[in-house]
Structure 1
């Protein structure tokens, strides 16, 4: 049986925020997908997806001190499922952007590091992604900007 429009209207008025544009989750969902689509578009010429880019940046960031990092470290820091990180790293290894090695006495753990080819790719990708961020979020999305500060506070809570 089909729900009546009155029952739907009652639910929306009494049990929700009154509609999609009033629901922060829905608005964030749309903005995130718009951002991801735009990043995917600018990274297409660099043969990277948004998630591959994020993973490559995380590997570079976590490895910047020269210490050994693992796929699990990347997964934890990026809040990405371990299996998804494993699959993305495999694709990045196939592209020559990342190298991966088993850790002696580390069981299934693998260390990951960005390659010189991966670093060169990031040199091209980072400015392109920064341009997308500027277009979508403006000054508020830059370091010290109100939007970024608010999102960091929420993420840290």
Structure 2
């Protein structure tokens, strides 16, 4: 049975925000995916995807003071599901950019660290990502910029309002 256009119009008039471009979720989704594609294009010459770049950079950040970081901590920090993170780390490990080893504290946990070639990759990739961010978001999206402050405030609000379990 075909659905009548009037029924759909009524639904959108009564239940929705009127049009996709008036729904912040849809706008955020489109914005993120365009940003992700721009990062993917910038990272392609380095044989990196946006997600691989993000994971490598988070490992570098988390271990910058000599601490160890576990896969579980990376999953929590990044909101990447533990199974997806495991697959990304396998790929990065196969490329020789990360190493994983059992934790000295808990043998069930795996710690992750960059290799020397992984660090070289991050050093090349980071300026490319910053350039994309500056091009797409302007100075407002850089540290101390109003756009970044607004997004950070919104993220904090969403984190407080959602009662999601940890990824995985």
Task: Give the TM-score, by structure 1 length.
Answer: 0.95
Aligned to 2:161: none
Q: Does residue 52 of structure 2 align to residue 25 of structure 1?
A: no
Aligned to 2:142: 142
Q: CA deviation at 1:105?
A: 5.8
What secondary structure is seen at the aligned counterpart in 2 of 1:112? strand
Name the CA distance, whole Å, in 1 between partners of 2:105 and 2:43: 37
Aligned to 2:108: 108
Name the CA distance, whole Å, in 1 between partners of 2:105 and 2:64: 24
Aligned to 2:36: 36
Q: CA deviation at 1:4?
A: 1.0
Aligned to 2:164: none
What secondary structure is seen at the aligned counterpart in 2 of 1:86? helix
Name the CA distance, whole Å, in 2 between partners of 1:127 and 1:14: 47
What secondary structure is seen at the aligned counterpart in 2 of 1:80? coil
Deviations 1:73-124 (A, max 9, x none): 1000011111111111111111111111112462431110111111111111
Name the CA distance, whole Å, in 1 between partners of 2:108 and 2:153: 35
Task: Give the TM-score, by structure 2 length.
Answer: 0.89
Name the CA distance, whole Å, in 1 between partners of 2:119 and 2:3: 55
What secondary structure is seen at the aligned counterpart in 2 of 1:113? strand
What secondary structure is seen at the aligned counterpart in 1 of 2:45? helix
Q: After superposing the two structures, state which structure 1 stretch, 141-150 or 20-29, moved more.
A: 141-150
Q: CA deviation at 1:52?
A: 0.4
What secondary structure is seen at the aligned counterpart in 2 of 1:100? strand
Aligned to 1:95: 95
Q: CA deviation at 1:12?
A: 1.1
Aligned pairs for 1:44-59 within 5 A:
44-59=44-59
Aligned to 2:160: none
Coordinate RMSD, CA, aligned: 1.1
**Unpaired segments ≥5 residues, structure 2:** 158-168
